Structures are given as structure tokens and as C-alpha cells.
């Protein structure tokens, strides 16, 4: 099966400094990929490059097998790639309803009704402004807004950052439901155990290079790697 999104020999960075080196990743329909690594290793930089917010310096980004390296972000979004960015990026002065409707791209299964059935709390807050929501509600809105574009691939950077434990569990549960609905997912999160239990495959970055790519079990079996690259002691 041709991956939805793939990179080959990808390098990217800021100004003259390269952050990412020779990145090979592939995300297929229905898969969950966990993108892992300590602070500053290049996870957000990779996501920004996949979305077209940073230029490709070397190698290629492929969408459905076609070179998309030069496509602007809106063209990648139109091809079915949606994002929940670090910091969420919802419109603070707009209502929940407006945030959702601005993103809507008809022609798929994710209607407003379906998104609200995933997030009953949002349904109760449709008239509230973005900045009057709790952190958890804002993250639900950011996910809901991404789903309104009817994506085939959802990319989440720091999926549960800054949220209370119960709300985190709710977000993870929702991400599973989105996966079960057939949306491929690339997720970054500091909660290593949650990422390992959700992902079909994980990719670990160290200083912008992939040091592990494969099943979560293979990573978990390597205590030295878990300790060095993820800061987890078993
Ligand atoms: N706007 C920028 N300009 C220059 N360098 C940057 C910029 N953003 C990030 N970097 C550098 O790129 C490297 C990778 O950062 P990046 O934010 O991709 O890491 P990360 O894995 O997402 O980290 P975190 O877990 O803290 O979110 C770091 O060395 C960082 O200092
Ligand atoms: Mg980051």
C-alpha cells in the first residue's frame, strides 16, 4: 500500500543550521506512529517540515507517492493532512461553533454532529469563546477542528501537554476512537507509556536523526535505549 505520507533522505532546519538529517518515515492508512525523543531532538521541526511550514533542504516529502516537497501548507491540508499544533492554535476570540465551522471541509464522514458526539463537552459550549475554555476543552476543540477538515492523517504535537491526568486519559481515549474511525495518526507526547501503548510503530529521534523505527515492543525491550533516548527507567 502506498503510504499517505513518506519522507526519503529528508533534511531540514532553520536558517543555515540543519536540524533533521536523512529522515526516512512512512505513514500508511489506519496506522498510528509515535514520534519520540527528548526535548530539542527535532520532533516539532519534522512535523513542521511535513506540513510545509519549513522548507525541505534535501530529500523529499511524498504524499500518496507523489513528490509534495514544494507544496504549500494549504495544498497538503487539502490532500488530507490535518494538524493539532503544539499550543493548539485555536481562535481565542471566536466561539467553539465558529472555530469548527471555519475549518469545515465537506465530503467526508466528519460532520459537525459527529465531531460533537466525540466531544460532548464541546457540544455544551458551542457559544463560548476559545479563550473561555479550559485547557482540556481547547485541546478537544483543536482536535475537533482538525477532524472537521475530514483528514486521512492527523498529526498531533504534544497531544496532552499541560492537561490534568483525567483529561489526558480522555484525550487518549478520543485519539483511539479517531484511529478506529480509520484516520492515520502521527503523535508526539511526553507520556512515553501512553505513546507506546497506542502506537503501531514508533520513531525515535536523537539530534535530528532516526535511531529507532519499529514496533513499540522492540524499543521497550531495549532498556538502555529507553533510558538514554526517552529518559525512562524500567
Ligand atoms: N525557530 C527556530 N529557530 C532556530 N532553531 C530552532 C527553532 N525551533 C527549534 N529550533 C532548534 O531545533 C532543534 C529541534 O527543536 P524542536 O523544537 O524540533 O525539538 P522537539 O523535539 O520538538 O523538542 P520539544 O520536546 O522540546 O518540543 C533544537 O535544537 C532547537 O533549538
Ligand atoms: Mg516540540
Question: pLDDT digits over 148-172, tens only?
Answer: 999 999 999 999 999 999 999 999 9
Q: What dihedral do alpha carbons 184, 189, 192, 197 form, nearest 10°?
A: -30
**CA 165 from centroid of its chain's CA atoms:** 20
User: All 3 cell numbers of residue 31?
Assistant: 496506522
Q: Position of cell 496506522?
A: 31
79-118: burial string, b at 16+ Cβ within 10 Å, e else: bbbbbbbbebebbeeebbeebbeebbeeeeebebeebbeb
pLDDT tens-digit readout, 124-146: 999 999 999 999 999 999 999 99
The mean of the pLDDT values for the chain is 96
Q: Position of cell 525491550?
A: 221
CA of 56 to the centre of ligand 1 (A): 16
To test the ligand 1 pocket, which listed residue (11, 42, 50, 157) has its Cβ within 8 A of the most ligand atoms?
42
- Residues 24 and 8 sit within 8 Å (Cβ to Cβ): yes
- The proportion of the chain whose per-residue pLDDT surpasses 90, expressed as a percent, equals 93
Give residues (CB < 6 A) around ligand 1. Answer: 14, 19, 37, 39-45
Is the model's pLDDT at 234 over the cut of 80? no
pLDDT at position 232: 85
Torsions phi, psi for 161 (to 5 deg): -60, 135
Is the model's pLDDT at 5 over the cut of 90? yes
Q: Which ligand is nearest to the CA of 43?
A: 1
- Residues 31 and 74 sit within 8 Å (Cβ to Cβ): no
CA of 48 to the centre of ligand 2 (A): 10
What's the sign of the alpha-carbon dihedral 6, 74, 94, 107? negative
Helices (H), the chain: 43-51, 73-78, 96-103, 112-118, 120-123, 135-147, 165-180, 192-198, 216-220, 223-230
- Average pLDDT, stretch 73-78? 96
- Average pLDDT, stretch 173-190? 96
Q: Whose CA is nearest to atom 8 of ligand 1?
A: 45
To test the ligand 1 pocket, which listed residue (12, 34, 41) has its Cβ within 8 A of the most ligand atoms?
41
- Average pLDDT, stretch 93-104? 96
pLDDT at position 64: 97
Is the model's pLDDT at 220 over the cut of 70? yes
pLDDT at position 124: 95
- Average pLDDT, stretch 51-74? 97
> pTM to 2 decimals?
0.96
Amino acid at each position: 500500500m502506498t503510504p499517505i505520507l513518506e519522507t526519503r533522505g529528508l533534511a531540514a532546519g532553520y536558517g543555515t543550521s540543519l536540524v533533521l538529517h536523512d529522515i526516512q518515515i512512512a505513514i500508511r492508512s489506519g496506522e498510528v506512529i509515535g514520534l519520540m525523543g527528548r526535548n530539542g531532538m527535532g520532533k516539532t521541526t519534522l512535523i513542521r517540515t511535513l506540513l510545509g511550514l519549513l522548507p525541505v533542504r534535501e530529500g523529499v516529502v511524498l504524499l500518496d507517492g507523489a513528490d509534495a516537497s514544494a507544496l504549500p501548507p494549504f495544498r497538503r491540508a487539502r490532500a488530507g493532512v490535518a494538524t493539532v499544533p503544539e499550543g493548539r492554535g485555536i481562535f481565542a476570540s471566536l466561539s467553539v461553533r465558529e472555530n469548527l465551522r471555519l475549518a469545515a471541509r465537506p465530503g467526508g464522514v466528519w460532520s459537525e454532529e459527529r465531531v460533537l458526539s466525540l466531544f460532548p463537552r464541546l457540544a455544551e459550549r458551542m457559544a463560548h469563546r476559545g479563550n473561555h475554555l479550559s485547557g482540556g476543552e481547547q485541546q478537544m476543540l483543536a482536535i475537533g477542528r482538525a477532524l472537521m477538515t475530514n483528514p486521512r492523517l492527523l498529526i498531533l504535537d504534544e497531544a496532552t501537554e499541560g492537561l490534568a491526568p483525567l483529561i489526558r486519559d480522555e484525550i487518549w481515549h478520543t485519539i483511539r476512537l479517531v484511529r478506529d474511525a480509520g484516520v492515520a495518526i502521527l503523535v508526539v507526547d511526553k507520556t512515553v507509556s501512553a505513546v507506546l501503548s497506542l502506537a503501531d510503530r514508533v520513531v525515535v529521534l536523537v539530534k535530528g536523526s532516526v535511531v529507532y523505527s519499529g514496533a513499540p515492543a522492540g524499543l521497550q525491550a531495549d532498556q538502555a535505549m529507553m533510558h538514554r533516548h526517552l529518559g525512562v527507567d524500567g
